[in-house]
Structure formats: C-alpha cells, structure tokens
Chain A
Amino acid sequence: MKELLSIEGLSKSYKHVQAIKNLNLLISEGQAFGILGPNGSGKTTTLSIITGIIRQDSGSFSWFGEESLPGHRKSIGSLIESPHFYPYLNLEKNLRIICDIKGASYRDIPRVLEISKLKERSKSRFSTLSLGMKQRLGIAAALLADPQVLVLDEPTNGLDPEGIAEVREIVIEQVTGGKTLILASHILSEVEKICSHVAILKKGELLACGPVRELLSEEEIIEVSCRDNQLLKQKLRHSKLVREIEPGNGVLVLTLEEGVGAGDINAFAFSNNLVLSHMYSRKRSLESQFLELVKEES
C-alpha cells in the first residue's frame, strides 16, 4: 500500500508538559487507522500538528510523501475536537465558507448535508443545532470536496447513544467507500469497530502500533486453584505455558502463551502431582487488555 502519512520523531510540549515525545508513525492509503489512548495521551496534539493547527517543537511529518501541508489540505478532511462554526450563520452559509476555503463547488453542499442527514436543517442557524447535529455538520464540512483522507478527533465525544450510532454510521460508510481514516479516540470499542490498524499512546509516547486484530486480540485467561497454589505458581513459571500469572482471590489468574489451551494446563498440573480443584476459562475483554497495556508502561 502507498504511504499516506509519515510521522518521524515528532515532539511537542506545552510549558512543562510533554504532550508528545519522539512519535513515529506510518499510515498507508486505504487504512482505517485509530490513535487510541487515555485523555492527555497526546492524540489531539498529534492530529493538530498534522493538520497544521499547531507547530511541533521537533520532528517532521509528510503527507503523500511530501513535507508541504498546504498543498494537500484539500485532500484532507479534518474534524479536530468539537466543530466550531459561525453561530449566527445557517448551515448552508457556514458550508459555503468551507467551500471557499477548500476551493470546492457550492454544488457539493447538498451532497454532504444529505450524508450527514442535515438537509432539512440547511437553513437553521448553527447555534440552534444539538451537539450531535453540530458534530455531524463538522463531518459534513470535512467531506466537502470529497477528500481522500478523513482526520477525525473523537467524533463521538459527548454524544448520546443515538448520536454516537449516527456519527459512527457515517464514518463507517466513508471507510467502506474507500477513504483513508485517521481516528483519535479514547473509546476502545469505537476503534475496534471502525479501524483496521491502531496506535496506542500514553503520556505522549507510542506504546504499541499494528493491526487491531493482532494488537487487541481477545486473549484467553484461565483461573486455576489447587491445594498448593504457591507450588503450582512456581511450576507454571518455569513451564513456558503461561505468559503471566497473577494471584486472584484464592486462585491464580493465568494468561496463556499462544497455542496453549486449558487442557495443557490441566495435564501439566496433573503430571506434577497437583490436582486442580478449580478451573475456569474466560476471554479477556479488549478493554481490560487496553487498560493493562496502558498500566504496564506507566
């Protein structure tokens, strides 16, 4: 796949706060790329830099293999944080301004209003819209001139469930239609539902990056106990069957190595003269994995 956005050694600090630290990312055309991280992890700062709102302290980034951003702005539709438009202008006039900025035809306005389901409100003032509608207008504006890339920063932030579903539906439609998406979010399920690739940030540092399936695959967790949990723990530690052992409430919580199953653990315990009195297998949720990944690195 062709390279779309390359970020090299990007750093930015606000007074004493290091917002992002030596960030390296490579995003290819056609990817739905999620930037995942808790609040304050540097997601918005990263998107603000790559869309030219703020300047980095050091490092560089290039769109479509070129370092100049202004020339490619029309190919990039962005929505950074909450959308801000002229409150006294109606939706159509607000979009006319964006058309003028992007050099798009006013004839594109009905199309994007249709996509964002705001056609009937085209003559309403921006100030009269609900939060969900404002967010959808932001996406409509980003879609003007039919850009190749969508850069969205927490597009469902602050929305009610219905609003979240509406915005997600629009974004998924665009991704399915072939647009490259760069989506920042702190909601794991959102990234999982929309994105094919993900980068996980924490305190401005990149913790992990790769395909969503690989990075956030559901791991098997097994709870076991026997008459001597300490001995079992010692034996398992040297067995190469488990990646991690955590003490639970009278049980041992095991994260298994790839290819290892509950039966292997049972057989291993039995071969060491330990009879398991409790065995419970469960899948670890994506959310707990994400929290763990973020916790581990702190």
Chain B
Amino acid sequence: MQALSNRKKVLEQKKMTLVERLYLPAIFQGMGITLRHFFRRKATVHYPEQKRSVPAVFRGLHVLRKDENGAERCTACGLCAVACPAEAITMEGGERKAGEEHLYREEKYAVKYEINMLRCIFCGFCEDACPKEAIFLETTFAPASYDRNDFIYGKDRLVEGFKRHELVSPITTLKEAQEANK
C-alpha cells in the first residue's frame, strides 16, 4: 500500500542486552517508583465521606431564587430554555391569581419548571440568559441514582428553600432498583 504521508516510522526490534534479559533490575526499579508514591501526598479523597471544596464559580445544580419578600422571581419567560444548548429545560406558564402576590413576584409565573439533569451540560447559559435573576447554578451536584426519572428535577427540588444536603435519591442500592423495575 502506498504511504498516505511521509511520517511513516519503521520499527526496529533490537536484540536485548544481558541486563535487560535478566528482568529483575527492571522489576526493582518499578517497585522503587511504587514505594516512593506511598510517602507522597494522596491525590484522592474518600468520597462520599470526604468532599472536596469547589471554587465559588463552580457550576452545579440549579436553584430558582426568591426575592427579598420570599416571592418567586421566575416568570416562565422561556429565555433559559432557548439559550439551553442541551434542551434540558421545559416549562409551562400560568397567571397569578389575586391573593398570590406573596408567592409570585410578577403577574405570570412558572406552573411547571423542569430540568433534566441528565441532558444538562452545566454550561450556565441559563443563568446568563435569565432577565429576572431567578436561576443560578450552585456548588452542589446531583446525587447518583439508578432511576432515570430521578434526574428530572421539578419545582419541588429547584426552588430556593429546598435543603440540598438532604438530597438523597429514593432508591439507594442496585438491588432495590432492580426490584423496583420488576
């Protein structure tokens, strides 16, 4: 076959010397490197008992903020969903009724607001697009689960006030998941 480029390298197999053929020196050299790493600083932590601190600009799970009076800021304008490159956000708007002024800041609010955390790529475009300063990305991330439906986060898990550290998936073991699927 004709070479496609001129970067072809011809491999040549040299005959090994006696020291190389003995094999043991190379073994001890390798073990030495391994031993040296026992006394170095470890690169890993014992997750989930230990957790690494993340920088302040870390983009994790979303939160729908409330304003200073405790009313939801989101008006379901849909700009986050348009900006979303992964198409992870869906929503449905509704009209605020009289007497609900303390719950929703503007006359329109999101009745349904869902983010699919499996689709989300945590780029933060939704945060940039939001004209109402409602959606923000926090420094927590989604817990693992065996059920895909667990990753569709509704308003119950997105609106501010939800305790993130209590966020555990309802199904915890593979066995339970398999039983649930039966």
- The judgment on whether A and B are partners is no
Footprint of B on A, CB under 8 Å?
Answer: none
